[in-house]
Amino acid sequence: MSKKQKKADSNLTVTTHKGVSKSILSLLKKTVLGTPGKLRYKHTETENTVKKLSGLRFIQIKKRTRVLGTAGFIERNISFDSASLRATYVRYLSVFNPFKNQKKSKQKKVVKKTQSALRNDIENIFKEELERPFKTSDQKGLFYAYVESDNSHSRDLCSSFGFKIIREINTFLFSRFFPKKQKDVIRINNNGYEMFRESLCQFYKEHNFVFTDSLEDFGTCFVLNHGGKKVAGIRAIQVHWKIVEMPGFKGFLMLKVLPRIPFFNRLFQPDKLKFLAFDNLWFQEKHSDKVQKLMEHACSELGYYMGMIWQDTGSITTKSLLTKNKLGLLHKINGAVKADLMARYINMNPEDLSTLKNKPAFVSAVDMI
């Protein structure tokens, strides 16, 4: 981990870290994710995850000892219109309001003005740090983030930094009470990643945001054999979340009812969410109905009963998942959960923006867990 510190305007201190510091790691472990009034959770394996994220850096803004803002950035090259584009994925973005607990004040106008000025300072610092790598090289690119559609606070925060919604993403649940191993599905070894990567890139050649540099770093890849050929593949990453809140009827059903019913309690536990995060899905057209076999085999081999997968609404995978595969009980209960892919552009022309908005996006589970 490397660390740089500089003084900003308004007595704010900006600290940049390559990697993650102990203080940032402590903050991330306490962070509650999700949408207020819906599913809210904590990551329980944050330390292991951030250690595997190559190119991760953090920016923290402090006023004296108080942290006012934190953001994590991962620089990567993604596919864009069949070429490569420099991009920065933004995660762990949070900006705190130091005046939010001040209910009464004799100087409300002064407080509001000070609050607004401080907020602007924080936003300007983040924008400057975000754009620096692109401006120094006069290179076009973008930075992007995923936000649950119902999470207005996170969406408004991203909007304040100039992010705009460009694509819609679906989260699908997969479940099996008694997952069975499939004789035609195998786990790939180190020699199989080149084939897997080539098949993946070919399958998503009409998508933007494709990257494969973390393929070997997370999870386990499986392929389906048919007639002596590998015709489909998927990656499964083991994930554990701690549930903080899940209100409403669905929450009551999943947290209070299902855990008390034999076999149903395999799918859901009252205070934890144990599942496989699926991504890097590809298949030959004739075998689009075999995705469920890949998922079921992964669940059986790794000892899980539930999975999640994230797909662009306009991707060919979404239609296949919904019409040609049986995703299980939890999908019937929960349906698809919507999220927005939001981006801020650097040095991009109108034609570039049209391409971004009109082509589906590849989604990595690494960015969601």
- What is the predicted pLDDT for the residue at 8? 53
> What digits encode the pLDDT tens for the residues 300-329?
999 999 999 999 999 989 999 999 999 998
Q: Which pLDDT score, from 0 to 100, does residue 1 have? A: 47
3-state secondary structure of 169: strand
What are the extents of the domains in the chain? Answer: 2-168, 170-341
2-168 against 170-341: fold identical:
yes
End-to-end CA distance of the chain: 22
Count Cα neighbours of 5 within 13 Å in the Cβ-side half-sphere: 6
How much is the pLDDT for 35? Answer: 82
Predicted confidence at residue 243, as pLDDT, reads 87
The H-or-E segment that residue 224 falls in is strand 220-226
Q: How far apart are CA 241 and CA 273, in angstroms?
A: 5
What is 170-341's CATH topology?
A: Aminopeptidase (3.40.630)
pLDDT score recorded for residue 6: 56
Note the pLDDT of residue 96.
Answer: 61
pLDDT (0 to 100) of residue 208: 96
Which of the listed CATH numbers 3.40.50.920, 3.40.462.20, 3.90.550.10, 3.40.630.30 matches domain 2-168? 3.40.630.30
Residue (of 302, 303, 268, 298) closest to 281 by Cα position: 298
Reported as a single tens digit per residue, the pLDDT across 25-35 is 888 888 888 88
Tokens of 318: 């979404």
Residues of the chain with pLDDT under 70: 1-10, 96-119, 133, 136-137
Write down the pLDDT at residue 101: 46
User: How far is it, in rounded angstroms, from Cα 48 to Cα 34?
Assistant: 20
Q: What is the pLDDT of residue 215?
A: 92
